[in-house]
Amino acid sequence: MKRHVQKRHFWSGVLISCLLAGVLLVHSLQVLSASQLAASEEWGETAVAPAHTLTASSGITPPVTSTLYLPIIFSPPPAIALQPIQAVCATNSWTLTWDDGGPNVQAYELQESHLSTFDQPVTITLTETQYVASPPLSPDHLYYYRVRALALSGVGPWSETQSIIGSFLDTFDDPNSGWPKVSDSNYTFGYVNGEYEITTQQAGAVYRPISPNYFLNTYTVEADVHWQGTATDGLYGILFGVVQDVSQYYLFSIYPSTQQYRLLRRAADGSFVELVPRTTAANILTGNGVNHLAAAWDNGQITLSINGVAVESLTNTAITGLTGAGVGMSPNPAHPAAAVRFDNFQVLGCKTPADSSNTPATTPFHAQPPLLTFDTWIEE
């Protein structure tokens, strides 16, 4: 007895997202005896293919099964777009958002790093298309971000990188946080017991190490400062508006022995211009008391504060653009051997994107002639 099976096979369907790449989809057909009503079976017709019919033209014992294997090959998720970072500088927080990558995406992998090469990144897995970052203030305040999609079919490529400069804080517990370390016969800069110290043996200069923070347009500089030792009649303070070559800057200083403050601007020609003369502030702590100094800088708008109290507000546009910060002191000529210490130095502000104009203020003073760390100045 001859057996004859006629097959016309057309297939169409939807491959669901739960199938992994390379999985075989099993499609089975069973041809029964011609004496059974189910011997001829027709499958639904589509717009692009006719019906699928299997017919047994004579009796078949046992039933014959035909199996068709369809390889299912999914493409990995596409690259997704990471949007420009939206920052709230006052709270050192920012929001990252990205597109969803399509219906097959199940999760996202976000990486944060202090290096553009993403060495030793922090990796976060998320199911939402948004992430709010609020990192603690630290000396390492340049952040890079990238994101990619995750699906059962694979892992998508990384997005383009977005970056931001956040707020800076140095508690000086790490002696390698980037400040100048200089030892000269006339002065010394260095880390001492969790503080940053300037000691001098000679007057007639402003000794002014520059912070290793990145340059910003708008920021507030703050620091806790106190004399160390018996010589407490000079001046100390904080620098802001520091240009890249340190030829210009503002020096907000106080004289604790007389409870006075002053604002000077160093000009490119080396002169010092007095913007605010010596002014009395009764809340300045004398002797070795710790004074908290703050200077808010917003492209020419300046606000000065001492121990939490605003004492001066003014406008000066002699210095503009991206600038840095630092600390400074000048001993009284009557007592040139002096020491001052700084702690909790902060630069509160942020900028995005971190482009090439935002190079760090990390001119390696420790590797260059010591003259780079002070400016000649005679108290008037």
CA distance 204 to 271: 13
Task: Give the residue from 229, 76, 236 showing the smallest Cα distance to 150.
Answer: 76
- The reported pLDDT for the residue numbered 23 is 47
Q: Which of 27, 48, 71 is the last residue of a domain?
A: 71
- Does the reported pTM lie above 0.75? yes
Residue 215 lies in a domain: yes
Q: Are 173 and 321 members of one domain?
A: yes
Q: Are 202 and 61 members of one domain?
A: no
Q: Are 324 and 214 members of one domain?
A: yes
Q: Are 363 and 243 members of one domain?
A: yes
- Given a cut of 90, whether residue 280 has pLDDT beyond it is yes
Domain encompassing residue 110: 86-166
DSSP sequence for 69-129: EEE--PPPPPP-PBPPPEEEGGGTEEEEEB----TT--EEEEEEESSTT--S-EEEEESSS
CA distance 251 to 241: 9
Question: Under DSSP, is residue 89 helix (H, G, I), strand (E, B) or coil?
Answer: helix
Q: Are 294 and 154 members of one domain?
A: no
- Given a cut of 60, whether residue 350 has pLDDT beyond it is yes
Tokens of 287: 């002797």
Residue 127 lies in a domain: yes
Q: Are 244 and 369 members of one domain?
A: yes
Q: Which of 83-92, 236-245, 306-315 has the highest mean pLDDT?
A: 306-315
Q: Are 176 and 158 members of one domain?
A: no
Please compute the mean of the pLDDT values over residues 228-242 and round it to a whole number.
95
Question: Under DSSP, is residue 372 helix (H, G, I), strand (E, B) or coil?
Answer: helix
Kindly report the CA angle at 153 between 49 and 45, in degrees rounded to 5? Answer: 15
Residue 145 lies in a domain: yes
Per the listing, tokens 């977005």 go with: 162
- The reported pLDDT for the residue numbered 247 is 92
Q: Is the Cα torsion angle 333, 334, 337, 340 positive or negative in sign?
A: negative
Tokens of 288: 């070795």
Question: Using 50, 70 and 90 to split pLDDT, how confident is the model at 61?
Answer: low
- Given a cut of 90, whether residue 1 has pLDDT beyond it is no
Write out the E strands in 127-234: 130-133, 142-151, 154-155, 162-165, 168-170, 182-183, 187-192, 195-200, 205-207, 218-227
Residue 274 lies in a domain: yes
What are the distances in angstroms from CA 93 to CA 142, 169, 322, 348? 13, 15, 21, 12
Q: Are 266 and 291 members of one domain?
A: yes
CA distance 224 to 239: 13
Residue 115 lies in a domain: yes
Residue 36 lies in a domain: yes
What length is written for the chain?
380
Residue 80 lies in a domain: no
Q: Are 186 and 301 members of one domain?
A: yes
Q: Which of 107, 133, 166 is the last residue of a domain?
A: 166
- The reported pLDDT for the residue numbered 72 is 58
Residue 162 lies in a domain: yes
Average pLDDT over the chain reads 82
Q: Which residue has the higher pLDDT, 139 or 356?
A: 139
CA distance 250 to 275: 9
Tokens of 129: 């298309």
Q: Are 66 and 119 members of one domain?
A: no
Q: Is the peptide bond before 277 cis (omega within 30 degrees of 0)?
A: no
Q: Which residue has the higher pLDDT, 378 or 308?
A: 308
Q: Which of 166, 200, 222 is the last residue of a domain?
A: 166
**In total, how many domains does the chain have?**
3
Cα end-to-end span (Å), the chain: 123
| CATH classification at residue 99 | 2.60.40.10
Of the given ranges (39-53, 89-103, 166-180), which has the lowest mean pLDDT? 39-53
- Given a cut of 80, whether residue 55 has pLDDT beyond it is no
- Given a cut of 60, whether residue 12 has pLDDT beyond it is no
Give the amino acid at 119.
Answer: D
